[in-house]
């Protein structure tokens, strides 16, 4: 056996970003242990680690590389997602500044360290070329998130959502693993290309194992990205988690889940795919409808946004169903826009929150007269989430719907458009509440200069991508070509 093909120096060079992030996380924990530094410095170290990892990523170039004997596969697709995670991680760290203290928790270095570990896990998920690696990345991500969700140890809501997320997340992991085991059993390998060639060659041990394996893998993914009917955990978890963590939770991990799902279903199971089309169709319709209908009746803003993110996941499934370059590129575009909008919205909610409560619609009354800039920003994010031109939300939805129509899914698009119309109600409800006059204003959000600057940047992204989406569309089409 030739062992020298594993662990060459180019393998190590390929995972430089992960190594940098790991070292940064350890340094952050050491600073926490030393207890001599101000919390701002810990956040700064973590943020510079993310920036450094980004530079290493640029240095590494975007040519295709297979690392560690087929465990990781680096290409423009993985690189696209890597930058998304680093960006979301950085913004989450900036927005978290001072939030934990406000919620009555002592500042801990674990918080930025866990965010860094979660970013590493997500990077491994979309770089993976093997079910084992997807599993490891997914679990590194999930374990970090369980702790982050329950991070406010003395807050009952945070505790409860941590427990719920953990139990359902671990349950989903069981399904994912059983699916991976059965796929391994059917094809004799866990490598994506190995699985695909085994299916193509017809050397599958048993069709039952294979289809059951794919089904279980799909259930596992559906839990992790909260597709109906496996979305029940998400409102509880989103509501109870610290708001900055919720912002992180509904953007980057969701992108990672969809990225890994795209990779698994497009590279490993392209042959078996036609048989799963109907299931994806049903999943898409169920997810968007259930998400939107449930969001209508919520009184808590974080819960409303949780259901809204469920419905957005439904739109994204449409892109996976379409599966061609237009569909995948629309998914990628949507993920970027969706991340920008949700990060901004949750950041503003975290600014508005006072100690240990989560906000209802009524509490937003009169915010516009109190703080016109912040309310204006929140209104822009809501309009974009609803999908109105000239915001990026419109272009993103338009891309997905037109890709689906081109493939002949007319009814699916009709249902999606109806759902979008329904969603206007709950997005505008918050805007109407903000601009309603109310003498006793409850919320008194205060913004730091840095946070305000980042929010302005996100608004700029929403408008620039809404008016001239061409540049990013070129990139996403390019990236989509790499996996199709």
Partner 1 sequence: MIVPLEHVILLSLALFSIGVFGVLFRRNAITIFMSIELMLNAVNLALVGFSRYYDSVDGQVFVFLVMTLAAAEVAVGLAIIIALYRNRQTVNIDEINLLKN
Partner 2 sequence: MIENYFPIFIVFIVAAGFTFVSLIMTHILGPRITNPVKLMPYESGVDPLAETRIRFSIRFFIIALLFIIFDIEIIFLYPWAVVFKDFLSFGSFIFFEMVIFLAILVFGYVYVWRNGALDWE
Which residues contribute to the site for partner 1 (CB under 8 A)? 132, 135-136, 139, 143, 146-147, 150, 153-154, 156-157, 159-164, 166-167, 170-171, 173-174, 177-178, 180-182, 184-185, 188-190, 205, 209, 235-236, 239-240, 297-300, 303
Gap between the Cα atoms of 315 and 311, Å rounded: 7
Binder of residue 7, out of partner 1, partner 2, none (CB less than 5 to 8 A by kind): partner 2
Instruction: State which residue, 346 or 401, has the beta carbon closest to partner 1.
Output: 346
Q: Rule CB under 8 A: choose which of 52, 66, 147, 212 binds partner 2.
A: 212
Give me the least distance between CB of 352 and partner 2, in Å please: 33
Instruction: State which residue, 3 or 449, has the beta carbon closest to partner 2.
Output: 3
Query: What residues from 30 to 59 belong to the interface with partner 2 (CB under 8 A)?
Result: 33
Interacting stretch for partner 2, rule CB under 8 A, among 207-215, 247-255, 388-396, 421-429? 207-215
Give me the least distance between CB of 70 and partner 2, in Å please: 18
4 lies in the site for partner 2, by CB under 8 A: yes
Interacting stretch for partner 2, rule CB under 8 A, among 2-10, 68-76, 410-418, 441-449? 2-10
Binder of residue 29, out of partner 1, partner 2, none (CB less than 5 to 8 A by kind): partner 2
Binder of residue 421, out of partner 2, partner 1, none (CB less than 5 to 8 A by kind): none
Give me the least distance between CB of 421 and partner 1, in Å please: 23
Query: What residues from 143 to 182 belong to the interface with partner 2 (CB under 8 A)?
Result: none
Give me the least distance between CB of 119 and partner 2, in Å please: 17
Interaxial angle between packed helices 277-296 and 301-322, expressed in degrees from 0 to 180 and rounded to the nearest 10: 160
Give me the least distance between CB of 215 and partner 2, in Å please: 8
Could you give the angle at the alpha carbon of 469 between the alpha carbons of 324 and 291, nearest 5°?
Answer: 65
Give me the least distance between CB of 34 and partner 2, in Å please: 9
Interacting stretch for partner 2, rule CB under 8 A, among 171-179, 206-214, 418-426, 446-454? 206-214
67 lies in the site for partner 2, by CB under 8 A: no
Non-local CB neighbours of 473 within 8 Å, separated by 6+ positions: 329, 333, 399
Could you give the angle at the alpha carbon of 196 between the alpha carbons of 195 and 199, nearest 5°?
Answer: 85
Binder of residue 136, out of partner 1, partner 2, none (CB less than 5 to 8 A by kind): partner 1
Binder of residue 170, out of partner 1, partner 2, none (CB less than 5 to 8 A by kind): partner 1
Binder of residue 143, out of partner 1, partner 2, none (CB less than 5 to 8 A by kind): partner 1
Q: Rule CB under 8 A: choose which of 51, 170, 208, 457 binds partner 2.
A: 208
Give the 3-state secondary structure of the chain: CCCCCCCCHHHHHHCHHHHHHHHHHHHHHHHHHHCCCCHHHHHHHHHHHHHHHHHHHHHHCCCCEEEHHHCEEECHHHHHHHHHHHHHHHHHHHHHCCHHHHCCCCCCCHHHHHHHHHHHHHHHHHHECEHHHHHHHHHHHHHHHHHHHCCCCCCHHHHHHHHHHHHHHHHHHHHHHHHHHHHHHHHCCCEHHHHHHHHHHCCCCCHHHHHHHHHHHHHHHHHHCCCCCCCCHHHHHHHHCCHHHHHHHCCHHHHHHHHHHHHHHHHHCCCCHHHHHHHHHHHHHHHHHHHHHHHHCCCEHHHHHHHHHHHHHHHHHHHHHHCCHHHHHHHHHHHHHHHHHHHHHHHHHHHHCCCCCCCEHHHHCCHHHHCHHHHHHHHHHHHHHHCCCCCHHHHHHHHHHHHHHHCCCHHHHHHHHHHHHHHHHHHHHHHHHHHCCCCCCCCCCCCCHHHHHHHHHHHHHHHHHHHCCHHHHHHHHHHHHHHC
Instruction: State which residue, 124 or 459, has the beta carbon closest to partner 2.
Output: 124
Give me the least distance between CB of 124 and partner 2, in Å please: 16
Give me the least distance between CB of 274 and partner 2, in Å please: 10
Give me the least distance between CB of 411 and partner 1, in Å please: 31
Please count the CA atoms within 13 angstroms of the CA of 203 that sit on its side-chain side: 10
106 lies in the site for partner 2, by CB under 8 A: no
Q: Rule CB under 8 A: choose which of 51, 167, 201, 207 binds partner 2.
A: 207
Non-local CB neighbours of 285 within 8 Å, separated by 6+ positions: 314, 412, 415
Binder of residue 156, out of partner 1, partner 2, none (CB less than 5 to 8 A by kind): partner 1
Instruction: State which residue, 29 or 415, has the beta carbon closest to partner 2.
Output: 29
Binding site for partner 2 (CB under 8 A): 3-4, 7, 26, 29, 33, 207-208, 211-212, 275
């Amino acid at each position: 056996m030739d062992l020298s093909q594993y662990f060459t120096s180019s393998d190590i060079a390929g995972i430089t970003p992960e190594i940098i992030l790991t070292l940064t996380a350890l340094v952050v924990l050491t600073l926490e242990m030393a207890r001599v530094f101000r919390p701002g410095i810990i956040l700064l170290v973590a943020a510079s680690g993310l920036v450094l990892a980004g530079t290493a990523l640029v240095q590494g170039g975007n040519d295709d590389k297979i690392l560690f004997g087929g465990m990781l596969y680096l290409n423009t697709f993985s690189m696209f997602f890597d930058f998304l995670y680093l960006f979301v991680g950085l913004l989450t760290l900036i927005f978290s500044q001072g939030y934990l203290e406000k919620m009555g928790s002592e500042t801990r270095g674990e918080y930025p360290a866990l965010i860094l570990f979660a970013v590493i896990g997500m990077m491994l998920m979309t770089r993976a070329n093997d079910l084992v690696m997807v599993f490891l990345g997914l679990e590194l991500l999930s374990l970090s998130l369980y702790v982050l969700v329950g991070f406010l140890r003395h807050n009952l809501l945070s505790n409860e959502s941590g427990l719920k997320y953990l139990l359902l997340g671990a349950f989903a992991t069981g399904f994912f693993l059983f699916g991976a085991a059965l796929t391994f059993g059917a094809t004799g390998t866990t490598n994506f290309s190995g699985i695909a060639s085994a299916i193509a060659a017809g050397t599958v041990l048993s069709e039952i194992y294979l289809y059951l394996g794919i089904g279980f893998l799909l259930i596992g993914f559906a839990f992790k990205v909260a597709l109906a009917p496996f979305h029940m955990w998400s409102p509880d978890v989103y509501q109870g988690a610290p708001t900055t963590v919720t912002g992180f939770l509904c953007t980057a991990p969701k992108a990672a889940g969809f990225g890994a799902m795209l990779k698994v279903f497009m590279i490993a199971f392209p042959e078996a795919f036609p048989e799963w089309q109907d299931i994806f169709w049903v999943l898409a319709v169920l997810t968007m409808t259930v998400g939107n209908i449930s969001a209508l009746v919520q009184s808590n803003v974080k819960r409303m946004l949780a259901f809204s993110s469920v419905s957005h996941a439904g739109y994204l499934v449409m892109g996976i169903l379409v599966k061609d370059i237009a569909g995948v590129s629309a998914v990628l575009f949507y993920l970027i826009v969706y991340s920008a909008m949700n990060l901004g919205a949750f950041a503003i909610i975290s600014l508005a929150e006072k100690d240990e409560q989560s906000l209802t619609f009524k509490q937003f009354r009169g915010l516009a007269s109190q703080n016109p800039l912040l309310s204006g920003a929140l209104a822009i994010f809501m309009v974009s989430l609803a999908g109105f031109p000239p915001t990026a939300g419109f272009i993103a939805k338009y891309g997905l719907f037109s890709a689906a129509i081109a493939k002949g899914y007319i009814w699916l698009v009709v249902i999606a458009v109806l759902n979008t119309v329904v969603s206007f109600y709950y997005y505008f409800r918050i805007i109407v509440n903000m601009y309603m006059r109310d003498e006793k204003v409850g919320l008194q959000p205060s913004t730091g200069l840095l946070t305000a600057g980042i929010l302005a940047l996100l608004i700029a992204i929403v408008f620039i991508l809404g008016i001239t989406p061409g540049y990013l569309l070129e990139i996403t089409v390019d990236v989509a070509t790499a996996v199709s």
